[in-house]
Amino acid sequence: MRLHLVRHGQTGSNLIRALDTAEPGAPLTDEGQRQAEAVGTVLATEPLDAVYASVLTRTQQTAAALAAPHGLRVEVRAGLREVIAGDLEMRTDDDAVLQYLGTMMAWADGDLDAVMPGGESGRATLARFDAVVDEVRASGAAVAALVSHGAMIRMWAITRAANLGVRDEVVQTLDNTGVVTLEEDGAGGWYATRWQDHLVPHATPTQGDGPAGEPLPL
């Protein structure tokens, strides 16, 4: 099975770097709607059997543009929602953003029991996304698009794809309507084939020291 993990289009919260993770969340801006239509046009040329979105407005608006060319219905699942900011919700200050990202760094480094203040553990966050992926796999879809969020896509792909690592340069950026493509490896796991415009080598990365990159807008 092939998965296209698609980040939603631009929102007003993106423009002010707000930790906007609660329902229903900010809608797409006019630019975000244009971005959604553009990525929908790109994926219209590829086979697509299913389109899923999170419970937040911005992913459903983006997913509608992906589903329409294929005559598909958007399936909405809570498991695809953003990494929940909890007590940091809607904050825009550097301290909050760094605390949010620092908790996810702990998860990526193996401490899945670390908890976002007022939110979920890494284990719970990944498990809810895993459950949706398992549902898609069980549906028999050969190719599916899952429209989700910047932090969630980045975290799930890094922890589930054998050839991605948290300090790999390619994973440090995921733009609005950026697409991360993964394939099953035949043994129940995943490997990434593309991260936005970059082809990803089919090899396990070396986990070296170094910065984890700039804060990722949601």
**CATH assignment of the domain containing 131:** 3.40.50.1240
Q: What is the pLDDT of residues 64-108, one digit of tens each?
A: 999 999 999 999 999 999 999 999 999 999 999 999 999 999 999
Reported as a pLDDT band with limits 50, 70 and 90, residue 218 is: low
Tell me the C-alpha distance between 2 and 95, whole Å: 37
Task: Quick: pLDDT tens for 191-216.
Answer: 999 999 999 987 654 443 333 344 45
pLDDT of res. 203: 66
Mean pLDDT of all residues in the chain?
A: 93
Domain count, the chain: 1
pLDDT at 80: 98
- Which structural domain range is residue 115 located in? 2-199
For residues 171-191, give the mean pLDDT.
Answer: 95
Query: ∠87-60-122 over CA atoms, to 5°?
Result: 35
C-alpha count within 13 angstroms, C-beta hemisphere, residue 191: 13
In-domain check, residue 180: yes
Q: What is the mean pLDDT of residues 122-143?
A: 98
CB 193 within 8 A of CB 183: yes
For residue 216 the two structure tokens come to 């990722």
pLDDT digits (tens, 9 = 90+) for 61-70: 999 999 999 9
